[in-house]
């Protein structure tokens, strides 16, 4: 078993987690959450998305979030950027790392960003170029890598080809998104194996939603292949507005607990993570979907 000794957690709760909330969450609540995640030792916290407020109203305060960050040394605060308009706004707000996003499914791409996969590349080619010119790192996301809400099955070679194009354009990391959480461990392995034939494993990340309760098993399966970067969301918050019924990402608390139990390094303080989980769940008045957080909070009394 070749599990990586150190695993990087990319916390996506403030963006992927909160983007789906119907009620407007005040900017200061988002900033406090982000600060608590930084205090817990998370080194990459996706802070917001420079997308259209008509499409995702919850991210309308993107510039205020980016400007309001109490930046910690050794923590990066990337943001999603779909086009040049978003990139310019991100730059102006002081954003230092961006992520572009597309899909392995044409139908999902159209619903999510209103264009085909090819057109999405046309849109973010200048974004990537402008970012790299400024020495900014660019991450690339692919949605629907293990299934699509509109097209059903997605074949691994289709995912691999999109990953290859993102990597070739200069994305330092490609995050493989099981947007609707339908994957199972052997399918996740097959998909990663197909992608790794075209993009070296060290440039790949797993971004698994937990809709069908498979995310932890899927993560273990792909870590066995060498995946050492995991996207997760505090308290298991979230979902995608353009994937009906999709629940949140795998909970960060659960991932960190599993990794610590297996003696893998994460640099994260689980107790402080639980504080962040309790904070945001308390604000949202929502039961926490992380089993680890539920157990640890019950123990605290
Ligand atoms: P469009 O309507 O095709 O774009 O949307 P457009 O260029 O025709 O512009 C339409 C209007 O939006 C114009 O305003 C633009 O100015 C404005 P109007 O003239 O009507 O007043 N606009 C913008 N405003 C702010 N920021 C911008 C921007 N761009 C245009 N950047 C667009 C195209 C991409 C903008 C839209 O489809 C969009 O914002 N989509 C965002 C969808 C989204 O955020 N989805 C969730 C994140 S992805 C995800 O969750 C998956 C992931 O987690 C991985 C996984 O789990 O699979 C990453
Ligand atoms: Mg997602």
Domain spans, the chain: 8-300
The CA-atom distances, in angstroms, between 126 and each of 170, 189, 240 are: 12, 33, 26
The answer to whether 124 and 82 are in contact (CB under 8 A) is yes
Tokens 């994305």 correspond to 171
Q: How far apart are CA 39 and CA 234, in angstroms?
A: 13
Distance CA 267, CA 180 (A): 29
Q: pLDDT per position in the chain (301 positions), as tens? A: 589 999 999 999 999 999 989 899 999 999 999 999 999 999 999 999 999 999 999 999 999 999 999 999 999 999 999 999 999 999 999 999 999 999 999 999 999 999 999 999 999 999 999 999 999 999 999 999 999 999 999 999 999 999 999 999 999 999 999 999 999 999 999 999 999 999 999 999 999 999 999 999 999 999 999 999 999 999 999 866 676 777 899 999 999 999 999 999 999 999 999 999 999 999 999 888 899 999 999 999 8
Task: Name the residues annotated as catalytic.
Answer: 240
Q: Sign (positive/negative) of CA torsion 226, 229, 235, 241? A: negative
Query: Is the CB of 177 within 6 Å of ligand 1?
Result: yes
Q: Where are the beta strands (DSSP E) in 104-148?
A: 137-143
Top mutation candidate among 12, 18, 52 for ligand 1, by most atoms within 8 Å of CB: 52
Rounded distance between C-alpha atoms, residue 17 and residue 238, angstroms: 4
Ligand having the closest approach to the CA of 243: 1
State which ligand 1 atom lies nearest to the alpha carbon of 19. 46
Q: Which of 212, 178, 214, 181 is nearest to 195 (CA)?
A: 178
- 8-300: CATH topology is TIM Barrel (3.20.20)
Evaluate: CB of 52 within 6 angstroms of ligand 1: yes
């Amino acid at each position: 078993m070749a599990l990586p000794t150190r695993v990087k957690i990319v916390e996506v709760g403030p963006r992927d987690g909160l983007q789906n909330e119907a009620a407007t969450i005040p900017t200061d609540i988002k900033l406090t959450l982000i600060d608590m995640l930084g205090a817990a030792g998370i080194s990459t916290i996706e802070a917001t998305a420079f997308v259209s407020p008509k499409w995702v109203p919850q991210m309308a305060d993107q510039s205020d979030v980016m400007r309001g960050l109490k930046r910690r040394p050794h923590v990066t605060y990337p943001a999603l950027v779909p086009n040049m308009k978003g990139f310019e706004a991100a730059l102006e707000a002081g954003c230092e790392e961006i992520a572009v996003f597309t899909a392995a499914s044409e139908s999902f791409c159209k619903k999510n960003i209103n264009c085909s996969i090819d057109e999405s590349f046309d849109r973010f080619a200048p974004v990537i170029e402008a970012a790299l010119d400024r020495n900014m790192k660019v991450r690339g996301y692919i949605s629907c890598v293990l299934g699509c809400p509109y097209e059903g099955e997605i074949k691994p070679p289709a995912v691999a080809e999109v990953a290859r194009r993102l990597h070739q354009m200069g994305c330092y990391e490609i995050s493989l998104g099981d947007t609707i959480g339908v994957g199972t461990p052997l399918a996740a392995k097959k998909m990663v194996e197909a992608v790794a034939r075209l993009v070296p494993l060290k440039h790949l990340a797993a971004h698994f939603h937990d809709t069908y309760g498979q995310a932890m098993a899927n993560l273990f399966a792909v870590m066995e292949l060498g995946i050492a970067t995991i996207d997760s969301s505090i308290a298991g918050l979230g979902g995608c507005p353009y994937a009906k019924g999709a629940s949140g990402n795998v909970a960060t608390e659960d991932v960190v607990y599993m990794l610590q139990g297996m003696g893998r390094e994460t640099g994260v303080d689980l107790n402080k993570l639980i504080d962040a989980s309790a904070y945001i769940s308390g604000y949202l008045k929502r039961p926490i979907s992380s089993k680890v957080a539920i157990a640890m909070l019950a123990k605290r009394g």
